[in-house]
Chains A and B, each alone.
Chain A
Amino acid sequence: MRPYLVPVGVFVLLVVLLAVGLTLDPRLIPSPLINKPMPEFTLPNLRNPDATVSRADLLGKVLLFNVWASWCQACRQEHPLLMELARSGVVPIYGLNYKDKRPDALRWLDQLGDPYVAIAADADGRVGIEWGVYGVPETFVVDRKGIIRYKQIGALNKKLIQEKILPLVRQLQAEGS
C-alpha cells in the first residue's frame, strides 16, 4: 500500500461521516418514551374546566395525542389535516393544550374547528414535560394498552399521515381486536 493512501483514506472517511451528519436534523431528539406506557396525568378539560381529562380516559383505544397551542405557528399549519383526519373517523384525536391561555385556545377552536375528542389543558406545561414535549406541535400514536408507539416532532403533513401514521394506526387497531 502506498503511504499517501492513508491520509487520503482518513479524509474520505471523514467526508462521508460529515456528509451523513449534515443530512440529520439535530432538532429531532429520539424520545425514550417510545414503547413505554404513557405518563400518568389528570388535567382540567379545556372545554369544560370542571371536568377532567386523565390517562384513564385515553386507555382502551388506538389514538393520536396531539400537543398544540394557539401561539404555535406550525400548529395552524397542521390543523386542517387534523380536521380531515377527525372527519374521516379513522382514529380519535386527543389534544394537549400546552402552555396556553384558555380564552386564546377557545377562540382558536371556534375559528379553525375542533378535531379533538377531548382536550386536556396544560396551562403550566408540567404534563408536557411528563410527555417529553419540547417543540410544539408534537403528535403521539398510542395503542390500546396505553403504550406510546410513535412520536412526531413538528407539524404533520399529508405524506407523513398517509405513509406513517395511518398504516401504524391500522396495524395497531388490527393487533388488539
Chain B
Amino acid sequence: MSRYGLLLASILFAAPVFSAPVSEDPLERRMLDIAKDMRCAVCQNQPVSESNADLARDVRRIIREQLEAGKSREEIIAYFVERYGDFVLLKPRYEGAGLVVWILPISFILILGVSAFIFIRRRLRAQLPPPPELSEEDAARVRAARQQEAP
C-alpha cells in the first residue's frame, strides 16, 4: 500500500517536469479579441474565435497577419464587412437596419413598463365600490359562526 502511495506521490511531484510551459502570445490574444466579435459565415451564430470551421480558421489567420502588418481593429473588421457584409458583425451597427435591431426591444420594454406603471397607478387611485349591505341571512350565519368559536 505504502509503495503505491510513494509511486503516486512521485508521479504527482514529477508532473511539472513533463508539462509544457504555458506561453502567452499577445498577438493571439488581440486576434481572439477581434474574432470573438465576428460571426462565422459557415457555422452561423458562432463567433469566429470559437468555430472550428475551415473558413473561421482562415479568417483567424488573416486577422493575425493584418495585426502583424499593423492594421487596427476597425480596419480589419471593415475588411471582412466589405467582403461578407454586416452579417459578420455579431454586434449590429448603431445605424441603418442595425439601429432598428437595437431600438426595437428597448422601446418595447419601455412602452410595456410605462403602460404597466400607468395601469397600476390608475388601479391604486380608483375608488373601490362600497361593500354591499350584509343581508339578514348572512348576518345570521356570522352570528352563528361566532357563537361556535366562543366556547
A residues near B (Cβ < 8 Å) are 26-27, 29-33, 39, 99, 124-126, 128-132, 134-135
Contact = CB atoms under 8 A, between A and B. Distances in A.
Contacts of A31: 84-85
Contact of B84 (A27, A126, A132): A132
Contact of A130 (B55, B81, B83, B86): B83
Given A26-B44, A31-B85, A134-B84, 5 more contacts: A29-B84, A32-B81, A128-B58, A129-B55, A129-B59
Nearest to B87: A29
Contacts of B44: 26-27
B56 to A, nearest CB: 10
Given A27-B44, A134-B41, A134-B42, A124 B58 contact: yes
Interface majority SS on B: helix, strand, loop or mixed?
Answer: helix
Q: What's the dominant secondary structure at chain A's contact region?
A: loop
B85 A32 contact: yes
Given A125-B54, A125-B55, A131 B83 contact: yes
18 contacts: A26-B44, A27-B44, A29-B85, A30-B85, A31-B84, A32-B82, A99-B54, A124-B58, A125-B55, A125-B58, A126-B62, A129-B59, A129-B62, A129-B83, A130-B83, A131-B83, A134-B41, A134-B42
Contacts of A132: 83-85
- Give chain B's interface residue range (CB within 8 Å of chain A): 10 to 19
Contacts of B85: 29-32, 132
A33 B86 CA distance: 12
A26 B87 CA distance: 11
A125 B41 CA distance: 14
Nearest to A125: B58
Contacts of A131: 83
Interface string B71-112: 000000000011111110000000000000000000000000
Contacts of B86: 32
A126 B84 CA distance: 14
A32 B84 contact: yes
Contact of B41 (A29, A32, A33, A124): A29
Contacts of A99: 54
